[in-house]
Amino acid sequence: MKQLEEDPWKDVEGKYKIGDVFTGKVSNITDYGAFVELESGIEGLVHVSEMSWTKKNVHPGKIVSATQEVQVKVLEVDSEKRRISLGIKQCSENPWAKFVEENPVGQEIEGEIKNITEFGLFIGLSDEIDGMIHLSDISWEKSGEEAVKNYEKGQKITAKIIDVDVEKERISLGIKQLSEDPYAGAMDDIKKGAIVEAEVVNVNGDNLEVKVGEVSGIIKQSDLAKDKKEQDVARFTAGDKVKAKVATMDKKNRKVTLSIKAMEIEEEKQAISEYSNNESGASLGDILGEALAKKDNK
């Protein structure tokens, strides 16, 4: 008798086309989604990722219930495998797309601090959407770890919209962007490869944290000296002034990396060049000694 019944999956691709919207009844709920009966013998799966724009990492049973009638959009049809992929969230407006239409990048917005984490502040912008203020975007003057201490959960704040990524469902906000960067142009006089004077502000593990004017910098232990015996952070203390070569520059974050080792290698090369071109009869040792003496005087 079974052979006499018409196969409900026959011509299923003709009946259920991608993009079409149907109403069906939830027939089964699993950990990975919900099955929706479109007609007798035909079910489609709404994967948990296609159930809600904003409810993430929740059990499908908290979004839909058994026998509930729901609107679904056809996302994919595979007649050979007898599978139909459906979406519930696609039947409603994407709140992230709507947000960026109503709130363009650069606009100021108010919200309530929902959570404070090691990454920054999470701000409630609506009942469905949160934005994030990264630690580096809280203050121009203070470090993120220090600046975040001035805020608490439930506090209402104003921030500027820095970026909106609809696909990744991320909204980046900033507090410091509400005012001009007081150190804008601080790196204009610093050039890669230049020899600069820096002040040690902290001896941190295997590195020296330094300042070149208003610009933060770092000198790695391996860059403290050409001679490995002198690559010891313990011989430096906060307040020391050192000369070093600018190795890399990060203008966006206003940071540089310096190298005393590179400076010493450059000075040695200059001394050798002077020795090759000198007509005074001075030895290489004399020239190197003079270069070292100049370094010590500095």
Q: Which long-range contacts (CB under 8 A, 24 or more apart) does 149-153 make?
A: 151/113, 151/116, 151/121, 152/113, 152/116, 153/113, 153/114, 153/115, 153/116
Please check the confidence at residue 292 and state whether its pLDDT lies above 60: no
DSSP state of 30: E
Return the CATH class of domain 2-91: mainly beta
Comparison of pLDDT for 45 and 41, the residue scoring more: 45
The model's confidence at residue 174, banded by pLDDT at 50, 70 and 90, is: very high
Dmax (CA) of the chain: 113
> For the segment 62-72, what is each residue's pLDDT rounded down to a tens digit?
999 999 999 99
User: Closest Cα partner for 195 from 243, 241, 242?
Assistant: 243
Per-residue confidence at 1, pLDDT binned at 50, 70, 90? very low
Whether the per-residue pLDDT at 114 is higher than 60: the answer is yes
Secondary element (H or E) of residue 15: helix 12-15
Confidence class for position 167, pLDDT limits 50, 70, 90: confident
User: Under CATH, what is the fold of the domain 95-178?
Assistant: OB fold (Dihydrolipoamide Acetyltransferase, E2P) (2.40.50)
The CA-based dihedral angle spanning residues 145, 149, 155, 157, taken in that order and rounded to the nearest 10 degrees: -50
Beta strands in the chain (DSSP E): 21-30, 33-39, 42-47, 69-78, 83-87, 108-116, 120-124, 130-134, 156-165, 170-174, 195-204, 207-212, 215-220, 241-250, 255-259
Spatial distance between the Cα atoms of 132 and 117, rounded to a whole number of angstroms? 10
Task: Look at residue 277 and tell me whether its pLDDT is greater than 90.
Answer: no
Q: State the pTM of this model.
A: 0.62
- If we measure between CA atoms, which residue out of 215, 268, 210, 260 comes closest to residue 239? 210
Residues 17 and 20: their CA atoms lie apart, in Å, by 6
- The reply to whether 95-178 shares the fold of 2-91 is yes
pLDDT tens readout for residues 181-195? 877 787 888 899 999
pLDDT tier at 298, thresholds 50, 70, 90: very low
Q: What is the structure's pLDDT at 137?
A: 95
Tell me the helices (H) and strands (E) count for the chain, helix number first.
5, 15
Return the CATH number of the domain spanning residue range 183-298.
Answer: 2.40.50.140
Domain ranges of the chain: 2-91, 95-178, 183-298
Q: For the chain, give the mean pLDDT.
A: 87
How large is the average pLDDT for residues 133-146?
90
The two tokens of residue 277 are 């071109």
Q: Which one is predicted more confidently, 109 or 55?
A: 109
Q: What is the pLDDT of residue 184?
A: 76
Confidence of residue 96 (pLDDT cuts 50, 70, 90): confident
What pLDDT shows up at residue 291? 55
Q: What are phi and psi of 133, to 5 degrees?
A: -105, 110
Query: Considering only 163-167, 201-205, 285-289, which range has the smallest mean pLDDT?
Result: 285-289
Q: What is the pLDDT of residue 248?
A: 93
